[in-house]
Structure 1
Amino acid sequence: MKWIVLLLLLCPLLNAAPSKPSIVFIIADDLGWADVAFHGGNAPTPHLDQLAKEGVELTHHYVAPVCSPTRTGLMTGRCWSRFGVTTPQNNRALPWDTVTLPRALKSVGYETCITGKWHLGSKPEWGPNHFGFDHSYGSLAGGVGPWDHRYKTGPFSETWHRNEKLITETGHVTDLITKEACAWLTQRKDAPFFLYVPFTAVHLPVKEPQEWLTKVPASFAGNLPRHYAACIMHLDDAVGKIVSTLEKTGQRENTLVIFTSDNGGSNAENNGQTYPADDYPTGPLPASNQPLHGQKGSVYEGGTRAPCIASWPGRLKAGQHDAPVQIIDWMPTFCTLAGFKAETDLKWDGVNLWPQLAEDVKPPVRSIYTVAPGFKSRSFRVGDLKLVLQTKNNAEKAELYDLASDPNESKDLATQLPAKVAELQAALAVYAKADKDAVAND
């Protein structure tokens, strides 16, 4: 009888989430809203489809319009504009004393690793090991040529590294990033870990191995569209390998896996930038953000609303989460799960998502603030209404959209609802007062 009573008392504890789950955060580069099969894409993505089926799809997950700002938001829990980071940049993005996500997790016993693209400071002395990562590998700068692993021609072209030491390797970039991530996972023992995998796929320049080109469905016509489809499929396979490694090493049941993209898809010319020549397929990238309006670089939905999946079997129920969330929310969420308590106010703009994702707590109406390159456009979503401010020739134009009835931003309501525009402009101005309050100084 005593044992029965004891078991009854222990049951709630057995079902409780572990105090320090491991975390794997996978982020694609320039992956469009409709590039994935679970959003209607034509390239097969079976591993991502399975994650979406078994996990929680965050249907309104917002990121920055371009890469370095999104990465700044993830690493700090703050809007990238607070650091003056609005464009892809090679200069150091963060002040030296920033309490980054890996630093916070390290302080409560986590092992930390990045394998992939950093792009928050492209010199070795500005690299990930200086900001809380135990192990780092990949590109210090931005997207690289998939075979030569070089960034754009210039002072940061030589960028491939391991622990901030420049190295030379052979192989396709997606395979190398995946191999490093899986190898690091197999070396983990008892400590919880944070693995950050920022892939360079599907960022230009795209050039895929023949083994993946042969797997592309015959419906894809043209050289570049086939390479782009192969790049998506290759990325999907890489995600599958990482999840499989977690399963084989017995770590999956205590690991929260997140997958997303750093911004919307791009239609830029594949070899139109100053990358060292490597016989790249010509033409504009065929990324798809349909049915969303806009693409990479814009504050419209197609530029800032990214595919996102949260997967933790046994802890997160399968389904969709439709409330607006943002890349800045992951640091508060992970830190809460890990038991981290800041000694000072970190001025997070993000919120802890766990109650709404795992406990069905209805989230309050919140603001989603987005800044585009050079502060030339900004948006401010409150509830279903979204204000867009575009600055051109020193004049600011306001647009207003109701995302509930017009999710594709096809009908500007600004002239019909001037009072609502003024209200949102005033709220945006208050929110923006903290911009540039933490700019890195050399």
Structure 2
Amino acid sequence: MYKLKMMYLALLMFGASHGQNKPNIVLLFADDISARELPIYKSSVWSPPEGGNTTNLEYRAKTPVLDKLAEEGCYVKTAWAATVCGPSRAMMMTGRYAHLHKWWHNKDKGKAPNGKGIWNLYDSSPHSIADVAKAGGYATFWAGKTQMKIDGFAFDEGCFTPGEGSYNTPIYTTDFRLESRKINGKKVIFNADTNKEIHKKSYVQSGWYWKPHVQLLHHPSTSQRLVWWPHDKKSKKRFGLDTFGPDVELEFVFDFMERKAKADAPFFVYHTSHLGHDAWDFLNPSSKGKWPGTPKISWNGKKYTRVTPKVTGDNGVYNDYGTITENGIHSHVNYLDYQVWQYLNKFKELGIENNTIFIFCADNGTSGYGKSSPICQKGTHVPLIIYAPGMNLTKKGVQDVLVNMADIVPTIAELGGVEFPESYEMNGESLIPFLTTNKTTHRDWIYGYHKEMTLIRGSLVLKDGNNVWYDVSEYPDDLISFPKIKDWDEVSEAHRSERDKLKEVVPRFDRHARAHDAPEGGYGEVDRLIKK
């Protein structure tokens, strides 16, 4: 009865326009961005272009739009993902932890029931974010990074900049690729653009920033299910060195939104941007920085202006005529702010600004600082902003609560009026009760994972992947230097009590050693989602 009441309250408070009975949802899931990279989190330290730590204001991001959204909407002080992208995206896609989907780490994934290959997320967790949105009546679009097989997900359309693995395709739409070649019996990484071996540490990848690899799913311009873009005369004519992957993604997202708004159809956009992720800088192959530059932008206090990029050259020697920013994650965060501004303008243009929920978050900590780190909350602490103007949220500004990325799936389910069957284990908890009532807390603990390691924290104590305990009752200036608890007699009884409760929770999910792979036969038949 409580669930039904909350669903009704959610739909009432997120009142619809244009005849829709539910709000549109746009989820912008950025890549490898710690909470500390956004000025709203007020960290005293952030990341320089080479990675690591800096207090140099030159490298601090400027995010006037995200700042405004965080103040007028709300943002979460302590949101957690997993420590690295694959497992974190698995958490987001399924609302479940690794003990169920078996994605323990990027290179540590459980085998499928037949023992061959990894267990696909859509097989391990059939009620994925796409299935839930579809069951709720949403048209669905997935844009950006994939990092997983897409075949079994229920998205209606998509625009992908796959990057990882796209070099295996027989169709090359870009020579901005790092590829593995065998030289004298040894594997060597070559830059396909220069046809030279690279000596800087990197991995095989296809470009997802400049001159990117792009693939479309079920686009109305073609009868093919998947097609590599550019795929027609018009797109081939415009494609070149000055084509920026994140711009292409947003163009196709907006095309989808326009069509659905015109049809009065509610939509869900899952935008998994590459922005924030380090990459080989094909335009500057000798660069020491980790993050290739973006098109230059400027903010005048009211709006952004973007410089049209111009790039000429070939074979690793290029001139960008000053139209591209310097290397650095701050440039990526700035460009995300610009794209959020574009989103807001599009919502207004389509007349849906008061009936659209916009969520901004990231998958794990920054490369060169927190990514893949099990120490404290370096790898797990990510930004989370929720903006829903005209929808009477009861929460504004900073929220000192605990949120897991797994919570997004059940939140979407509640907005769509969908319930999970009782037999289906869901580790996330819907945010709707917290966002739409006078409830002051969301959940008592949040959880993360890193291979065989488990991380968990409450409001007072945190256990990291190395089983080190921290007093997290107050945030330090750098968001990470919590005092370690070496003597439990020196902290309060409340600290000890919370520690004991967290210790009781961990064994439910700590199954890496005893249940690493999929169970024989999978999980069997799964009951359908319940539409209310």
TM-score, scaled relative to structure 1: 0.76
Report if the CA contact (8 A) 2:132-2:409 is conserved: no
Deviation of residue 341 (structure 1)? 2.4
Deviation at 1:74, TM superposition (A): 1.3
Selected match of 2:103 from 85, 93, 118: 85
After superposition, the Cα gap between the structure-2 partners of 1:21 and 1:142, relative to the gap in structure 1 and judged at 3 Å, is farther
SS of equivalent residue, structure 2 residue 438: coil
What's 2:528 paired with?
Answer: none
Aligned with residue 153 of structure 1, among 154, 176, 179: 179
Structure-1 residue corresponding to 2:244: 172
Q: 2:70 matched to which residue of 1?
A: 52
Match of residue 284 from structure 1? none
Question: 1:133 and 2:133 equivalent?
Answer: no
CA contact (8 A) 1:61 1:307 kept: yes
SS at match of 2:398: strand
State the match for 1:270 in structure 2. none
Give 1:235 deviation, angstroms: 1.9
**Greater helix proportion:** 1
Counterpart position of 1:291:
none
User: Paired residue for 1:387?
Assistant: 463
Q: Which runs of 5+ in 1 are unaligned?
A: 1-11, 122-126, 217-222, 268-293, 391-397
Distance 2:12 2:508 in 1: 45
Task: Supply the distance in 2 between the matched residues of 1:33 and 1:24 (Cα, whole angstroms).
Answer: 20
CA distance in 2: counterparts of 1:150 and 1:92, whole angstroms? 30
Measured against aligned partners, the alpha-carbon deviations of 1:124-162 in whole angstroms (never above 9, x if no partner) come to: xxx1x53110001113355999x9596763587596311
Cross-structure match for 1:258: 359
Selected match of 1:199 from 263, 273, 279: 273
Larger Rg: 2
| Offset, 1:263 | 0.8
Give the one of 207, 216, 231 matched to 1:162.
Answer: 216
Alignment check: 8 A CA contact 1:82 1:437 kept: no
CA apart distance, 1:257: 0.6
Report if the CA contact (8 A) 1:71-1:120 is conserved.
Answer: no
Tell me whether 1:244 sits opposite 2:244 in the alignment: no
Offset of residue 437 of structure 1: 7.4
1:28–1:200 CA contact under 8 A, matched in 2: yes
Aligned 1:114-133 pairs, distance under 5 A: 114-121=142-149, 127=150, 130-133=152-155
2:397 to 306, 309, 319: 319
User: Which residue does 2:293 correspond to in 1?
Assistant: 208
User: Normalization by structure 2: what TM-score?
Assistant: 0.64
- For residue 384 of structure 1, what is the amino acid of its counterpart? L
- Retained in 1: the 8 A contact 2:94–2:409? yes
Structure 1 contact 33–302 (Cα < 8 Å) conserved: no
The count of residues paired between Structure 1 and Structure 2 equals 383
Deviations 1:173-225 (A, max 9, x none): 12111212122111112121110111101111132246359999xxxxxx996
CA contact (8 A) 1:28 1:201 kept: yes
For residues 520 and 160 of structure 2, what CA distance do their matches in structure 1 show?
23
What is the one-letter code of the residue matched to 1:297? S
| 3-state SS in 2 of match to 1:427 | helix
Q: Which amino acid aligns with 1:190?
A: D
Give the letter for the 2:160 counterpart: G
Counterpart position of 2:91: 73
Letter in 1 for 2:96: R
Using the alignment, how far apart are the partners of 1:208 and 1:13 within structure 2? 42
User: Does residue 181 of the first structure (1) align with residue 208 of the second (2)?
Assistant: no
Aligned match of 2:331: 230
**CA separation in 2, counterparts of 1:134 and 1:16?**
24
Identity %: 23
Within the candidate set 403, 410, 415, 2:472 is matched to: 403
Report Cα offsets for 1:33-81 as digits up to 9, x if no partner: 2322323472221221121121111111111111111211111111134
Using a 3 Å threshold, how does the CA distance of structure 1 residues 112 and 402 change in structure 2: closer, same or farther?
same
Name the counterpart of 1:277: none
Tell me the CA shift for residue 411 of structure 1: 2.1
2:484 counterpart of 1:412:
yes
Please show how residues 350-369 of structure 1 align to structure 2 within 5 Å. 350-363=428-441, 366-369=444-447
CA root-mean-square deviation: 3.5
Q: Which residue of 1 aligns with 2:199?
A: none
Preserved CA contact (<8 Å) 1:66 1:297: yes
The residue type equivalent to 1:249 in the other structure is L
| Rounded Cα–Cα distance in structure 1 between residues aligned with 2:26 and 2:520 | 28
Cα distance between partner residues in 2 of 1:13 and 1:78: 25
